[in-house]
Structure 1
Amino acid sequence: MKPSSLKNIIAISGSTRKNSANHHLIKAIGELSKDTFEITLFEDLLGLPAFNPDESIENTPEKVLQFRALLNAADGILICTPEYAHGVPGTLKNAIDWTVSSAEFSNKPAVLITASTDGKYGHAGLLETLKVIEAKNIENLELLISFAKTKINAEGEITEEKTLEQIKALLNRFNETINDVQD
């Protein structure tokens, strides 16, 4: 595939730790899909101010406007996140809250991968949020990777074959969904 035909994907890691399993996973996915996707990691979750509904439409902070512009320009969104205390990491939820009234996720193909020790509660909660804000085909573009550190090593390699195959299949469905939206 020619570089000009690569699909523009914005990746968001729900973890703000520099060497998190989710950052490693995004890098691994970037390598797996380099002939299909150009993945850009949004690295400023901590820079977004706390969500304020009064500023969501008017007087919106510049960093929020920049975040929204990145999402709008993307062909798809990839979210890789841990679960914190059976929930969605606060910085990730905050970022998503800034998009509710402006609808960047609406009809936008989005993938949710929760890679954590357990993950099922945070995954279910975030999946519900993404359905409510109308992320395109989210029911078919999600994957829970429990015990992630046993499946993704410190170098960012996916070491379990079953997980690797699940991710490849998910990326194929993601590409198909983007193609459907663009047609």
Structure 2
Amino acid sequence: MKPLRVLCLSGSLRKRSGNTALLLAASALAPASMELRVYGGLGTLPLFNPDDEAVSLPSVVAALRDEVGASDALLIACPEYAHGVPGPFKNLLDWLVGSLEFPDKPVVLWNASARESHHAQDALREILATMSARFVESACTTVPLPGAGCEVGDILGDAAQCRRIADSLSALAGALAGLRADQCSRHL
């Protein structure tokens, strides 16, 4: 059986982003049955304009949509900025709203904030629900990082963080295996 493909989306453009480090750590901890790929094109996406969808989709947007379509699930780690979703990440989501690849896509939300940070998570849930995401609640979690500048090695060196990540990935693998089994039984 081919590995489960998970596209990881960081909502941060920071070079030393804790959210990106968290996703990179997850890719290092992923079980052999799961392939995690961290998307690196957030900063290259043009500003969303519905006219561009109707005429000719920008190539970087088409590539993003192709990656979403080829993935079994999305794993999102997004920071909170001014009590909301950072503009570049909202822009990414806007480009996916009209896509055929996104609806009913399994989605996992990770919160990397060590403090009470829920506004962006609440907003993300609302946006993604509107976009017809299928939340994998058993895999959604908070992995409290110390803040900006957290490195992959810091996360991998913390047994409690590694356990949280591994537990979440295990829950995601189980949920996706169940979805695959359901799809196979429907085709019989």
Kept in 2, the 8 Å contact 1:9–1:77? The answer is yes
- Aligned pair 1:109/2:106, yes or no? yes
1:21 is matched with which residue? 18
Q: Distance in 1 between matches of 2:93 and 2:13?
A: 15
Amino acid at match of 2:132: E
Q: Distance in 2 between matches of 1:77 and 1:159?
A: 25
Counterpart pick for 1:129 among 127, 130, 149 = 127
Q: Distance in 1 between matches of 2:119 and 2:156?
A: 23
Query: Greater Rg, structure 1 or structure 2?
Result: 2
Corresponding residue SS for 1:157: helix
In structure 1, list runs of 5 or more residues that go unmatched: none
Q: Distance in 2 between matches of 1:172 and 1:122?
A: 25
Structure with greater helix percent: 2
- Aligned pair 1:171/2:177, yes or no? no
Q: CA deviation at 1:24?
A: 1.3
Going from structure 1 to structure 2, the CA distance change for 1:106 and 1:177 (only over 3 Å counts) comes to farther
1:3-152 alignment, distance < 5 Å: 5-118=2-115, 119-146=117-144, 148-149=145-146
Amino acid at match of 1:24: A
Q: Distance in 2 between matches of 1:5 and 1:96?
A: 28
Going from structure 1 to structure 2, the CA distance change for 1:128 and 1:103 (only over 3 Å counts) comes to farther
Kept in 1, the 8 Å contact 2:136–2:172? The answer is no
Amino acid at match of 1:105: F
Going from structure 1 to structure 2, the CA distance change for 1:54 and 1:140 (only over 3 Å counts) comes to farther
Q: Distance in 2 between matches of 1:104 and 1:74?
A: 9
In structure 2, list runs of 5 or more residues that go unmatched: 182-188
Q: CA deviation at 1:71?
A: 0.5
Q: Distance in 1 between matches of 2:68 and 2:2?
A: 18
Percentage identity across paired residues of the two chains: 31
Going from structure 1 to structure 2, the CA distance change for 1:156 and 1:10 (only over 3 Å counts) comes to farther
Q: TM-score, normalised by structure 2?
A: 0.83
**What does the per-residue CA deviation read over 1:102-128, in whole Å, with 9 as the maximum and x for residues that have no partner?**
143212111111213532111111112
Deviates more, 1:154-163 or 1:35-44: 154-163
2:185 is matched with which residue? none
Q: CA deviation at 1:95?
A: 0.5
Corresponding residue SS for 1:78: strand
Q: Distance in 1 between matches of 2:139 and 2:31?
A: 19
Q: CA deviation at 1:153?
A: 4.7
Q: Distance in 2 between matches of 1:35 and 1:77?
A: 18
Deviates more, 1:163-172 or 1:80-89: 163-172
